[in-house]
A and B are shown apart, each in its own frame.
Chain A
Amino acid sequence: MSGISTSQYSHYHSKVARNRATSEPAWVRYLLIGTALSFLSLFLFVPLAAVFTEALRKGFDTYVTALVDPDALAAIKLTFIAAIIAVPLNLVFGVSAAWAITKFEFKGKSILITLIDLPFAVSPVIAGLIYVLIFGLQGWFGSYLVDNDIKIIFAVPGIVLATIFVTFPFVARELIPLMQAQGKDEEEAGLVLGASGWQILWRITLPNVKWGLLYGVILTNARAMGEFGAVSVVSGHIRGMTNTMPLHVEILYNEYNYAAAFAVASLLALLALVTLALKTYVEWHAAHDASLAEDASK
């Protein structure tokens, strides 16, 4: 999960040659590599290949038809709307929480960090349920919302809220360890030189953690666009209105329209692959910057 910090060491360690005493015989190595690769193929390659094979089973025309279907396009649009609202909000929260937690000392800090992690521990289904209890017909604000003709549950706002909940901790979790490690000397130097709080944030803190920040945003976005359980509870599954892409996949699948279901699913699988590629790129850059800084300090 803390992907940025882990890979910084690998390039160093691969340079350390291992002698006979601390390595295994060749046949053990090949057996272990073979077993690991078989396991990963079974659980990673095969499902991924199945998505694209099933999507194209009925030919390319069927594939395209499934994607340009008005309901599919509405689902794609809603998925983007939810992500465009949820990602920036959680980004601002993540920066703010990391600033408070890493630059200051206060009581109850470790409790606050645990509370930020809470949404990871909550089942997505429960994440949807709690908003139904508040904004649903029988909920706390149910009658007020009906009287004023405001729809939250079974409408777009509910979907956005559920998406914000499930992606809540990602940016904060990436930034807190990074900013902790960086300390606050540079910020204090900026302050002494007359910079304002915002200038310090924009010119010193954020540039220092830019790769971690980007990594957090990528993870948040992937989860926001792919969330199923939480969104499923609050959506109401109204075609062309409150269906996100994952929900549209479910509806098509339950209608035995497998080719179309896998066609929409293949877009989400592509999104996942792009996410992994970006993540690898960001990790490489972070490691590169770290080794440059190391060389400079020598």
Chain B
Amino acid sequence: MAKRKNILPGFNISLGFTLLYLSLIVLIPLSAAFIKTTEISFAEFWQIVTTPRVVASYKLTFGASFIGALINAVFGLLTAWVLVRYTFPGKKFIDALVDLPFALPTAVAGIALTAIYANNGWIGAWLEPLGVKVAFTPLGVIIALTFIGLPFVVRTVQPVLEDLEAETEEAAASLGANRLQTFTKIILPAVWPALLTGFALAFARAIGEYGSVIFIAGNMPMVSEITPLIIITKLEQYDYVGATAVAVVMLVISFILLLAINGLQWWANRNNGAER
């Protein structure tokens, strides 16, 4: 295509305003976190971010986020499959309700889940005799992080399943493949990039989550204390440098995840494009 001159107006003003607003609201404030950590030496920084209590919080945050995202990958794929391929009463309603964790304020989700899983709650009361405690344990953290990540996998896998051509499945069947083989050899490879993207999105969202977790976690140091809560606790003790040091660790991990997700989405788009 020959390069032609763009005649539309408003480039300078729209890009200028975009960059100004982005800098004022996001970039300059975020840089403040990195600048704040230059007040201490790297040895001090390392000492703060590797104290046993903080390390325990990383393990819980990343472990619970990973398990939550894994649960969502399995049940999200199943939900997307059921919504795209089958018909059943109330399907439209269910489809709309999948986005509830996006729309429901996290604090509301937090107290609702705590009420359900407390030892006198609807589900907690059933689990209590079995010796399973959910509220105020790491298990509760997993439940909360599963809830807030629920829509991601469904919403990334759903459009890919909708776009799958029936012809490839028919071809597989006519060549003698059974349904399970068709699923694992034809359908799963096609949705794989989207599934991985959804998993990564749910994982990234779970790592930073605060509101829905703190009510159900019990927040016991070394046991059920998530990293965002460590930041809050340090802030409440006016330990700004300590809070910022832990925040910088989380920010760096989040940025890496964001880049990984961008890469995944690019891969998913390329895969879909190649099929056409």
* Residues of chain A having any CB pair with chain B under 8 Å: 1-3, 5-6, 9-10, 13-14, 16, 18-19, 21-24, 28-29, 32-33, 35-37, 39-40, 42-48, 50-51, 54, 89, 92-93, 96-97, 99-101, 103-106, 112, 114-126, 129-134, 136, 138-140, 161, 164-165, 168, 184, 187-188, 191, 196-197, 200-201, 219, 222, 225-229, 232-233, 245-247, 249-250, 253, 258, 261-262, 265, 268-269, 271-273, 275-277, 279-280
Q: Chain B 19-39 against A: per-residue CB contact (8 Å), 1 yes, 0 no? A: 101100111111011001000
Nearest-neighbour CB distance to chain B for A105, whole angstroms, equals 7
Q: B192 within 8 Å of A by Cβ?
A: no
Q: Judge whether A276 and B8 touch: CB under 8 Å.
A: no
- Which of A18, A39, A233, A258 is packed against the most chain B CB atoms within 10 Å? A39
How many residues on the B side are at the interface (Cβ–Cβ under 8 A)? Answer: 98
* Residues of chain B having any CB pair with chain A under 8 Å: 6-11, 13-15, 17-19, 21-22, 25-30, 32-33, 36, 75, 78-79, 81-82, 84-88, 92, 94, 96-109, 111-113, 115-116, 121-123, 146-147, 150, 152, 155-156, 158-159, 162-163, 166, 169-170, 173-174, 179, 182, 204, 207-211, 215, 228-229, 231-232, 235, 240, 243-244, 247, 250-251, 254-255, 257-259, 262
Inter-chain contacts of B6 with A (CB < 8 A)? 103-105
Q: Which 4 pairs between the two chains have the least Cβ-Cβ distance?
A: A226-B105, A123-B208, A228-B211, A21-B173
What residue in chain B is nearest A126 (Cβ atoms)? B247
Q: Judge whether A5 and B159 touch: CB under 8 Å.
A: yes
Nearest-neighbour CB distance to chain A for B273, whole angstroms, equals 14
Nearest-neighbour CB distance to chain B for A260, whole angstroms, equals 12
What residue in chain A is nearest B258 (Cβ atoms)? A121
Inter-chain contacts of A125 with B (CB < 8 A)? 208, 210, 228-229, 231-232, 247
Q: Judge whether A168 and B174 touch: CB under 8 Å.
A: no
Q: How many A-B Cβ pairs are below 8 Å?
A: 299
Tell me, in angstroms, the Cα distance from A132 to B244 when the chains sit together. Answer: 10
Tell me, in angstroms, the Cα distance from A277 to B95 when the chains sit together. Answer: 11
Q: Judge whether A32 and B78 touch: CB under 8 Å.
A: yes
Tell me, in angstroms, the Cα distance from A184 to B96 when the chains sit together. Answer: 33
Tell me, in angstroms, the Cα distance from A119 to B205 when the chains sit together. Answer: 11
Tell me, in angstroms, the Cα distance from A164 to B24 when the chains sit together. Answer: 11
Inter-chain contacts of A42 with B (CB < 8 A)? 123
Nearest-neighbour CB distance to chain A for B250, whole angstroms, equals 6
Task: Given A9-B159, A165-B29, answer yes or no on A118-B258 (Cβ-Cβ < 8 Å).
Answer: yes
Inter-chain contacts of A261 with B (CB < 8 A)? 111
Task: Given A21-B174, A130-B30, A233-B232, answer yes or no on A277-B96 (Cβ-Cβ < 8 Å).
Answer: yes
**Other-chain contact of B211, A10, A117, A124 (Cβ < 8 Å):** A124
